[in-house]
């Protein structure tokens, strides 16, 4: 009788353990649906940038977003990003943003996008200048929505030369 009870407990134990560990964990893979969502995020960014829609641009970033624009200090948080885009679009006259050679991949809830870009800068009262560079984004899926977490841009153009030193006064 004790032997049967022991066997019964072993069977119950095996069934219980199998029930707790059975099945597969939900997949956390970065799939086609995620890649399409991140591509839409980039398309929404491009459309908002070209429409000079700063509020829409800000909505595409997480609250802890970091922006590293070329030849400028790192900006942290949506309020600073909004200020940057406001100046870039309105004071510097940025327009005509286009991305080329877009590469996108991801893992789980993280994605990266890198590409080359070009745009025009038309400051008020100044001549139009065509500008080009490279961009790298890291996006994160938060509450089932893809948002930009980090954006880093670098320019293909050489930095502006510093002004020539003033001539010393002759005595």
- CATH numbers and ranges of domains, the chain: 32-155 (3.10.450.50)
**Which position has the higher pLDDT, 75 or 4?**
75
Question: According to the model, what pLDDT value does residue 123 have?
Answer: 86
pLDDT in tens, 77-124: 999 999 999 999 999 999 999 999 899 999 999 999 999 999 999 888
Single out the residue of 103, 102, 108, 104 nearest to residue 141, CA to CA: 108
Residue 166 sits at the vertex; the CA angle it makes with 162 and 171, to the nearest 5 degrees, is: 170
**How far, CA to CA in Å, does 67 sit from each of 13, 78, 82, 102?**
54, 9, 10, 19
Mean per-residue pLDDT, 158-170? 76
- Look-up: residue for tokens 């597969």? 24
Question: According to the model, what pLDDT value does residue 142 have?
Answer: 95
pLDDT in tens, 22-66: 444 445 789 999 999 999 999 999 999 999 999 999 999 999 999
Q: What global pTM score does this model have?
A: 0.76
Q: Could you tell me which residues come within 8 angstroms of residue 109 by beta carbon, excluding any fewer than 6 positions away?
A: 28, 140, 141, 142
Question: According to the model, what pLDDT value does residue 170 have?
Answer: 72
Q: Got the DSSP string for 132-161? A: EEEEEEEEEEETTEEEEEEEEEEESSPPPP
Q: Are 141 and 109 in contact (CB under 8 A)?
A: yes
pLDDT over threshold 70, residue 12: no
Q: Are 102 and 115 in contact (CB under 8 A)?
A: yes
**How far, CA to CA in Å, does 77 sit from each of 35, 42, 161?**
25, 19, 31
Question: According to the model, what pLDDT value does residue 136 have?
Answer: 97
């Amino acid at each position: 009788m004790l032997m049967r009870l022991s066997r019964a407990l072993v069977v119950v134990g095996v069934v219980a353990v199998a029930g707790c560990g059975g099945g597969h964990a939900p997949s956390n893979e970065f799939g086609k649906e995620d890649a399409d969502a991140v591509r839409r995020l980039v398309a929404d960014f491009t459309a908002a940038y070209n429409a000079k829609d700063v509020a829409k641009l800000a909505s595409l970033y997480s609250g802890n977003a970091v922006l590293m624009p070329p030849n400028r200090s790192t900006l942290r948080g949506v309020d600073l990003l909004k200020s940057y885009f406001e100046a870039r679009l309105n004071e510097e006259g940025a327009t005509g943003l286009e991305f080329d050679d877009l590469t996108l991949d991801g893992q789980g809830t993280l994605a990266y996008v890198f590409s080359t870009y070009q745009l025009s800068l038309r400051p008020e009262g100044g001549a139009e200048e065509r500008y080009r560079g490279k961009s790298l984004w890291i996006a994160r899926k938060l509450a089932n929505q893809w948002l930009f977490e980090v954006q880093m841009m670098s320019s293909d153009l050489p930095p502006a030369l510093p002004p020539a030193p003033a001539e010393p006064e002759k005595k």
